[in-house]
Amino acid sequence: MEILSQLFCLLVVEDNPGLNRDLKALLEIEIPGTLVLSALTVREAFLNLDDPLLPKPDLAILDLRLPEVPGAVKKIHPVLAKRVTELGVPSILMSGYLGSEDVESFIRDRKLHDPPVKVISKRDPDYFDQLQATIREFFIHKSSAAVEQQLSAVFGHSRSLAQPGSTGTAEIMSLQRQILDYWDYLSEATRTLAGKWFTVFETVDGQRSIRLELPRG
């Protein structure tokens, strides 16, 4: 497992083994640079969340009715949602039982205490497209915010960087790396902002490259 090269980490908790496997495979293909951790039960989800060797997920996709352990009765486990909230991991909730009382009551409670990024019905025919679009949008928002924050830290007026001196090699190189890594997930507005300083281009061998430029216009 190559964790270092991953930009994002998703945790998928889905008890249907076939769906779980398909979701993991599809998300890894459709959202490049994403490490997908998957769990079939609540206990397995906790093992993923609490493993110090695994990265903290950027986003959790939680099926609502789950067994605690393999073979156990499926039900809603508020304790899992609570743990995800404690870790500061935003979540997408999905269920095949939207409309049933226990599910709706749980969702109302989550909306009050820790609003989910989105609630998706697994019965919608386009539910995977919805899921994929929501995740992508979430990552674009997150990456763009991170890059804009770093642009401001390096070039803005409120300096909060490590280097106390006046040379900017470390900061500018770190920023260049960040922009290149997240380029596919940056909003147009963030790309325009970064473009005030940097030009991102393809090299002759098809690699993406970045450089400071003299500004145009």
Partner 1 sequence: MSNAIKMTGSQQRRVVSVNDRPVFELQWTTRTGRGTETERRNGVSNESLIEEYAYALQKHFCLLTGPTFGWNEAETSRHTPYPVLIRDLGPWILGTATTDGHQLPYLAFSCRNPELSQNPGAGKRSDVVLHELVHLFQFQTDTWRYWPLRNRWGTADPNWWLHEATALAVEAELAVHVSWYPWLWTWATQPQRSLESDATGAMAAPFIQYLMRRFGRPFVASIYRISESSAPTMRGTELLDAAIRVQTTNSQSDDGSHLSDLFLDYCVEAVAPLPDQTFLDPSITQIVGRRLMTAHVNELPFEISNSESTIDHLGCRYIEISRPLHGRRFKLELIHPSTGERCVLHTAVVELDEHGKHLQKTYWAPDLCAGSLSLILIPHELTKSFILTIVNIAYGSGWERFDNLPLQLRMVTEEQ
Three-state secondary structure along 53-89? CCCCCCEEEEECEECCCCCCCCEECHHHHHHHHHCCC
Which of 98, 140, 146, 154 is the binder for partner 1 (CB under 8 A)? Answer: 154
Strand 118-121 versus strand 65-66 pairing type: unpaired
Q: Quick check: 70 binds partner 1 (CB under 8 A)? A: no
> Between 35 and 39, whose beta carbon lies closer to partner 1?
35
Q: Which of 117, 87, 121 is nearest to 103 (CA)?
A: 121
Q: Closest approach of Cβ 119 to partner 1, in Å?
A: 36
Of 30-38, 88-96, 103-111, 170-178: span binding partner 1 (CB under 8 A): 170-178
Strand 198-202 versus strand 75-76 pairing type: unpaired
CA distances 187 to 119, 196, 214, Å, are: 23, 15, 23
Q: Closest approach of Cβ 152 to partner 1, in Å?
A: 9
Q: Closest approach of Cβ 177 to partner 1, in Å?
A: 4
Which of 67, 180, 191, 199 is the binder for partner 1 (CB under 8 A)? Answer: 180
> Between 19 and 180, whose beta carbon lies closer to partner 1?
180
Which of 52, 88, 125, 215 is the binder for partner 1 (CB under 8 A)? Answer: 215
> Between 20 and 174, whose beta carbon lies closer to partner 1?
174
Question: CA-CA distance, 173 to 179, in Å (whole number)?
Answer: 10
Token pair, residue 85, equals 């909230």
- Rounded to the nearest 10°, the torsion over CA 99, 105, 107, 113 is 160
Cα separation of the two ends of the chain: 46
Which of 129, 159, 189, 192 is the binder for partner 1 (CB under 8 A)? Answer: 159
Which of 172, 184, 187, 191 is the binder for partner 1 (CB under 8 A)? Answer: 172
Strand 75-76 versus strand 91-95 pairing type: unpaired
Of 37-45, 107-115, 139-147, 166-174: span binding partner 1 (CB under 8 A): 166-174
SS3 state of residue 93:
strand
Binding mask 104-143 for partner 1 (x = CB under 8 A): ----------------------------------------
Question: CA-CA distance, 160 to 162, in Å (whole number)?
Answer: 7
SS3 state of residue 217:
coil
Give the binding site for partner 1 (CB under 8 A): 154-157, 159, 161-177, 180, 196, 203, 205, 207, 209-215, 217
